[in-house]
Homo-oligomer: A and B are copies of this chain.
């Protein structure tokens, strides 16, 4: 099957570009120095490919992602890098602990108690490092670790996500500020214990050490595998490896319309770029775009995701291509919660 024969809109993964991205990252942060984040692709087949280049540990954002990874048998150490308070969901996670090592992030006494009550065995203490989201103040981390241990859980270390530093234009300033985060996490880790400091993302993966004095640093990058137009704005050694392919269904005097709309594309990072065109606006099932010359009805057009994570979550499968040949179809099987 040729990519031009796929029904559209079609989510397409370029396996060669993907493999180059995976190889580049595996060279720079080999093995357990990277804990790939599956939220960026929600696809166990893609995670298995990440495992194939040496990463055994994975990061998840939702209980569904953890359960799906366990079900697929991919990875032997799964971190839910997010707080969960729902006893039912936590109990379901706890029931999976005989099949896989499962660790959950906690940042409050409520979260610690909920995890302990559900029977979870291992936690990391999630520390606030500047992004106003989850994470306890650094000074609260030791007490939370103590509480977790009192409740019978092991504390594997600390977590901190510096999401506010992923895309700084001034790379020197970015390096300084990420180093501050790393220093904070190391200080907190010294009072919390455990073997792990888990942190970072695609925009800062190169600014974290891999190990210092016996403490292991792992980076939770996800977007590096497939990339998007947002991260393309940073100077990163990764290339675009996924697209949404559409068909031109209507052509006017100054614009054309393709059947790739905002139900097929994450829109929180602005208009996704149209290859060889300029998007005017996206509707539910359309993009209206300009191009010189305009394409003809029936021609194909490629759209670059602006934010890969929600884009992947909108499709039930990705077509895997090598050049123009469709070589596989991967279910986006970690969708939902």
A residues with a Cβ closer than 8 A to B are 7-9, 39, 61-62, 82-86, 88-89, 107-108, 110-111, 128, 132-135, 137, 163, 247-252, 254-255, 257, 259, 262-264, 266-268, 280, 282-286, 288, 296-298, 309-310, 313-314, 316, 335-337
Question: Who on chain B is nearest to A106 by CB?
Answer: B250
* A297 & B133 in contact (Cβ 8 Å cutoff): no
Q: Determine whether the beta carbon of B297 is less than 8 Å from that of A111.
A: yes
CA–CA, A298 to B114, complex, Å? Answer: 10
Cα–Cα, bound, A8→B250 (Å): 40
Cα distance A61–B163 in the bound complex, in angstroms: 37
Residues on B with beta carbons closer than 8 Å to the beta carbon of A132:
252, 254-255, 280, 288
A7 in contact with B337 given A111-B249, A284-B39, A309-B284 (CB within 8 Å): yes
Offer 17 A-B interface pairs, CB within 8 angstroms, sorted by A: A39-B285, A61-B284, A83-B249, A83-B250, A85-B247, A85-B249, A85-B297, A108-B250, A108-B251, A108-B297, A128-B252, A134-B249, A134-B286, A262-B266, A262-B268, A267-B267, A267-B268
Q: Are A314 and B313 in contact (CB under 8 A)?
A: yes
- Other than the given A7-B88, A82-B249, 7 more pairs (CB < 8 A) read A8-B337, A83-B249, A111-B249, A111-B297, A132-B254, A262-B266, A316-B335
Query: Which residues of chain B have C-beta atoms less than 8 A from A133's C-beta?
Result: 250, 257, 283, 286, 288
Rounded to whole Å, the gap between the CB of A272 and the closest CB of chain B is: 11
CB contacts (< 8 Å) of A82 on chain B: these are 249, 259, 285
Contact B263 A313 (CB under 8 A): yes
Q: Which residues of B contact A39 (CB under 8 A)?
A: 284-285
Nearest B residue to A5, CB-CB:
B88
B310 touches A263 (CB 8 A): yes
Distance of A309 Cα from B261 Cα, bound (Å)? 12
Docked CA distance A159–B288 (Å): 19
- Output the residue of A254, A263, A264, A314 with the most chain B CB within 10 A: A263
B249 touches A285 (CB 8 A): no
Q: Which residues of B contact A111 (CB under 8 A)?
A: 249-250, 297
CA distance A39 to B84 in the complex (A): 33
- Residues in chain B near residue A134, CB distance under 8 A: 249-250, 257, 286
Picked from B8, B61, B252, the residue with its CB within 8 Å of the CB of A285 is B61
Contacts of A335 in B (CB 8 A): 316
Cβ–Cβ < 8 Å partners of A83 in chain B: 249-250, 257
- With both chains docked as a complex, state the minimum distance between the C-beta of A123 and any C-beta of chain B, in angstroms: 14
Closest to A107 in B: B250
Q: How far is the CB of A106 from chain B (nearest CB, A)?
A: 10
Alpha-carbon separation in the docked complex, A137 to B251 (Å): 11
Contacts A133-B257, A134-B257, A250-B135 given; does A298 touch B263 at CB 8 Å? no
Residue of B9, B88, B135 near A337 (CB, 8 A) is: B9
Which residues on the B side are within 8 Å of A163 (C-beta)?
283
> In the complex, A309→B257 CA distance in Å?
19
Closest to A249 in B: B83
A90 to B303, CA, bound (A): 23
Nearest CB on B from A8, distance (A): 7
Bound together, the chains give a CA A128 to CA B254 distance in angstroms of 13
